[in-house]
Chains A and B, each alone.
Chain A
Amino acid sequence: MPSEAEVFDKVKTCLVDALGVDDDEVTPTASIMGDLGAESIDWLDIVFKLEKTFGIKISQSELSPEDILTSAEYVQDGKVNAAGLDKLKQRMPFLDLAKFVANPAVNEFSQLLTVQDMVRFVLSKVN
């Protein structure tokens, strides 16, 4: 079972390769889209690299809860409601939602996922 530090190092390598960022930019608190500049098209690349590196399978909905964020049941006036937040917590337990809960605007969601969240996600898959 790999340690958190080992997983972090490998996740970092995947992100450096996929996004062309420098090693030292990939800190635990860096947001993958906001700070590291990932675009939606990069997700495919990142997911492939993570799958190959860790021997895991990742489905699109695990990292990109589009179905929740576009659902009239969970989104009102551009904000995720309480039921939607519960659903997100359930789907993405590795994600630190504290900041998002304060302002659950759908268009802010993509900026949330940090390197540390991704490490937690991978750890949940490999263990």
Chain B
Amino acid sequence: MRWFWFDRYLEFESGKRAVAIKNVSLAEEHLHDHFPGAPTMPNSLIIEGLAQTAGLLVGEAKNFERRVVLAKLSKALFYLPARPGDTLTYRADVQEIREDGALVHCTSHIGDKLQAEAEIFFAYLSGKLAERFLFQPGDLLTWLQILRVFEVGKTADGGPLQMPAKFAAHNRLVNGA
């Protein structure tokens, strides 16, 4: 099982902003009991989806060389329930990126209605924590490709976002591995 809490990027601007979507489906098992007779996407998983949308943006800003963790959720407000059939549009706007971390303002919309908003801090790990093994590079690349980062992504100056060289050897779509 993998922990994927949004479906794809629509826009991805390196170091600045991203737009992604999450389609809420009754086929998702967790909705069957949350709540019985009133399936509602858990707010915690909406936060996870926003954090993934923003976290990959923060990781890409350092060319995926640094390990990124969600450090702190300083604000999270929910205005509407998200139900099966809803498409959540997640937006992540980078407020600031520093050497030690980043602050991102995130929103979730259903249509033009604001469904949730959050302010998320990410830390770039250093020292021993940064050396711990978390991902196979190939797995991260596959995830980025599923999310279509390299199809919609743009560099800060507007050019197409290129796959980092270190990933090229792991490109299963090309190598057919």
Contact = CB atoms under 8 A, between A and B. Distances in A.
Partners in one complex: yes
Interface of B: 71-72, 74, 95-96, 98-101, 103, 121, 123
A45 B100 contact: no
Nearest to B74: A45
Contacts, number: 25
Given A41-B121, A41-B123, A48 B72 contact: no
Q: How large is the interface on A (under 10, 10 to 19, 20 to 34, 35 or more residues)?
A: under 10
B99 A44 contact: no
Interface of A: 17-18, 41-42, 44-45, 48, 60
Given A41-B123, A44-B123, A45-B72, A60 B100 contact: yes
A60 B99 contact: yes
Which of B72, B99, B123 has the largest count of A CB atoms less than 10 A from its CB? Answer: B72
Contacts of A48: 95-96, 103, 121
A86 B35 CA distance: 61
A18 B71 contact: no
Contacts of B100: 44, 60
Contacts of A45: 72, 74, 103, 121
